[in-house]
Amino acid sequence: MRDPMTPSLYRVDKVVRELPDTATLGLVPSGGDGPFSFRPGQFNMLYRFGMGEVPISISGDTLDRSRVVHTIRAVGSVSRALTELAPGDEVGLRGPFGSSWPVDEAAGHDVVIVTGGIGLAPLRPAIYHVLSNRGRYGRFVILYGARTPNDILFRSELESWRSRFDVDVLVTVDSAGREWGGNVGVVTRLVDRAGFDPLHTVALVCGPEVMMRFAIPALNGRGVPNGRIHVSMERNMKCAIGLCGHCQYGSYFVCKDGPVFPFARIATLFAVREA
């Protein structure tokens, strides 16, 4: 069995410049690794040689095993260096790690996705899963917020999902010029307008923590209980296998017990202010 602390060598096979600070990398094994499989919501540790290693969610389709896909936003030195990679460059990869979105548990329910900014990337595999198994779910609602129209991630994909007759996609931005004909306002206001049956809904929430703090009461306000709200948490990581304690969150380790948690499990922690 492979040592989970030793990265495998992967080659950048494809780069999509999504936004000025965000890129999607398609990676293929350049060592002897076979096809990569993962569950929606899981993450890998990506190692930029000479710089460092960071956790990044897998943003591709679980059914496409030809490439491992990650969407990265440059916020600091390692994430920036990753977004600057070009086809042919190599990275180290460890994973997949962590818990996943409850896509099987959600079967038979309406599925409501509430997300903002780069938070759409960790949810994209769950979206692909629901779309490929559309008949197993009730209503499917995607609520997405971005800062401005120019900051909308996966814009053409959002547009194509919206053009299907079996998905409700509502996008909102914090502010816009007049040329934007869509919604303006905080993402949580979309929760009030979206059509779903709160008593039979599973909600998947991923975005900046402040956004989640607003989104969860909005979902509760519509009648979705904490037990059916799932959130993806982020904490700094080192080992990613539950050994070092870097990602400790109350009595949990985000790398092993998360990153996806049923909100009911962490609701009390969520209210606690960390230093």
Ligand X SMILES: Cc1cc2nc3c(=O)[nH]c(=O)nc-3n(C[C@H](O)[C@H](O)[C@H](O)COP(=O)(O)OP(=O)(O)OC[C@H]3O[C@@H](n4cnc5c(N)ncnc54)[C@H](O)[C@@H]3O)c2cc1C
For residue 4, is the peptide bond before it cis, meaning its omega torsion is within 30 degrees of 0?
Answer: no
| Binding partner at 234 among ligand FES, another protein, ligand X, none, C-beta below 5 to 8 Å by kind | ligand X
Residues 184-223 that bind another protein (CB under 8 A): 184-186, 188-189, 193, 207-208, 210-211, 214
Nearer to ligand X, 224 or 260 (CB): 260
Residue nearest to ligand X (CB): 76
Q: Find, among 131, 128, 157, 158, the residue nearest to 143 by Cα.
A: 158
* Cα 69 to Cα 208: distance, rounded to the nearest angstrom: 21
Tokens 């494809």 -> residue = 14
43 near ligand X, judged by CB under 6 A: yes
| Binding partner at 243 among ligand FES, ligand X, another protein, none, C-beta below 5 to 8 Å by kind | ligand FES
* Cα 204 to Cα 218: distance, rounded to the nearest angstrom: 13
Q: Find, among 116, 38, 24, the residue nearest to 74 by Cα.
A: 24
* Cα 232 to Cα 123: distance, rounded to the nearest angstrom: 9
* Contacts with ligand FES, 235-264, as mask; x by CB under 6 A: --xxxx-xxxxxx-----x-x---------
Phi, psi of 166, rounded to the nearest 5 degrees:
-120, 20
174 near another protein, judged by CB under 8 A: yes
182 near another protein, judged by CB under 8 A: yes
Question: Residues touching another protein: how many (CB under 8 A)?
Answer: 32
Nearer to another protein, 184 or 244 (CB): 184
Residues 178-237 that bind ligand FES (CB under 6 A): 237
Structure tokens at 269: 């922690």
The nearest distance, CB 223 to another protein, in angstroms, is 16
* Cα 258 to Cα 254: distance, rounded to the nearest angstrom: 4
The nearest distance, CB 1 to another protein, in angstroms, is 38
Paired residues of 97 in beta bridges: 43
Q: Which residues bind ligand FES (CB under 6 A)?
A: 237-240, 242-247, 253, 255
